[in-house]
Amino acid sequence: MGDWLCCRPVSTSEPRMVGRYAIYGEIAAGGMATVHLGRLLGPVGFNRTVAIKRLHGHFARDEDFVSIFIDFSRPRTRGRRSSR
């Protein structure tokens, strides 16, 4: 679980595509993960700049840690208003 992205380098010139995300260069690193600049690509030219956190390999191979990380990373929608 999690090995699909954890240990492969990402180039700053050519993005690495993972699903709808284009992943560019590293913008920060810490004890558990590296953060990359990314773009969420959608239909009809829609795109949004995002930060993508990649777990370091030893954390990405720990299924319990990955489960906690995914749960923590899910967007929280309660109390948010839609923009109109």
| Residues listed for the chain | 84
Q: Which helix (H) or strand (E) holds 71?
A: helix 63-73
For the chain, strand residue ranges (E) read 16-18, 21-29, 33-41, 47-55
Residue ranges per structural domain of the chain: 16-72
18-61 residue pLDDT tens: 999 999 999 999 888 899 999 999 999 899 999 998 888 899 89
User: Is residue 12 predicted with pLDDT exceeding 60?
Assistant: no
What pTM was estimated for this model as a whole? 0.66
Q: For residue 34, what are the β-bridge partners?
A: 29, 54
According to the model, what pLDDT value does residue 48 have?
Answer: 93
User: Is residue 79 predicted with pLDDT exceeding 80?
Assistant: no
**Spatial distance between the Cα atoms of 67 and 80, rounded to a whole number of angstroms:** 24
56-78 residue pLDDT tens: 889 989 999 899 888 877 775 55
